[in-house]
Amino acid sequence: MRIAVTGSIATDHLMTFPGRFTDQLIPDKLDKVALSFLVDTLEIRRGGVAANIAFGLGCLGLRPLLVGTAGTDFAEYRGWLRGHGVDTAGVRESALHHTARFVGTTDAVMNQIASFYPGAMSEDVDIDLGELAGQVDLILIGASDPDAMLRFTAQCREHQIPFAADTSWQLARFDGGQVRQLVTGAAYLFCNEYEATLTEHKSGWTADQLTEQVGVRVTTLGSAGARVDRRGRPPIIVAAVPDVQPQEPTGAGDAFRSGFLAAIAWGLSLERAAQLGNMMAVHALETTGTQEYSLKPANVAERFAAAYGELAAQEIARHFS
């Protein structure tokens, strides 16, 4: 199964604040917030949702096609991704803009405040996914330039290319009609719990109605694991991996998506897909930086067996070893 991944390609600036953001918020003054947080650390890492997902797929032995726009400062990053199994032939280099930047600060209880500068990503709107018809089996539409995301889903429907919708960070930019346009007809819809509720609110659809619009609806639940919904069938609830030692949350959702899609590409069940998604998310969560984790098959198998049983671990190990 050939997977293409669209979305942001970025450099991450990750900082940590030793206190709690909520302790600095005064309820009756939230209409005029002016805060500065003195941070303890700064890590500059490779990131962007599309690059993160492609990285995870590459580490699992697939060769995903990364599609997006970066700046002329992308050469070293391109080499890194190629070295981890990612096909970067679909990445255009802008002559006008730098590669996008993500700036995020995480507090002591894993709350995060972030900003994102699109840079070269604003040129994603010039990409035509119709050119991939017949070359890929699934395209993940990740958070990118909002106009580009709308064009991408329309192009996938026009050319009958199966796609996965992942509005994530850009959900706040879309109105109800645009949300409905983004998700209608998707083979998979990825959201976290908050995004799922916001998607329902903006679209005007109930949870069941939203599920009716897509093939498979995947909702990550943080420490509660993940839920998979399908039309007319009972939901699949998958518990989280136990005994997690979180370091930094950025990229955990992207890693989940890479694990889920890898299992789908291998022909495994939706339950196994969510389990592998959870396992990949933990690897990102326990590492500072979205692409700094490494996968050791023996360790993955051992931890998978402890979390989901020996049979589940054997099914995964047959494809990843």
What residues act catalytically? 254
Nearest to 142 by CA among 164, 119, 112: 164
Read off the tokens for 211. Answer: 């599920």
Tokens encoding 105: 């600060």
Q: Is the dihedral of CA 96, 163, 57, 300 positive or negative?
A: positive
Query: Exposed e or buried b for every residue in 270-302, given b needs 16+ CB within 10 A?
Result: bbbbbbbbbbbbbbbbebbbbbbbeeeeeebbe
**What is the CA angle 233-237-242, rounded to 5?**
165
Identify any residues that bridge with 10 across adjacent strands, giving them in sequence order: 47, 100
Q: How far is CA 82 from CA 18, 54, 65, 79, in A?
A: 36, 10, 10, 5
What's the token pair of residue 179? 């949300």
Instruction: Please report where in the chains the tokens 């930094």 appear, as a residue.
Output: 248
Residue 220's beta-bridge partner residues? Answer: 192, 226
DSSP 101: E
Let me know: does 121 contact 92? Beta carbons within 8 Å.
no
Helices (H), 184-251: 193-203, 207-212
Q: Is 316 left (phi over 0), alpha (psi -120 to 50) or beta?
A: alpha
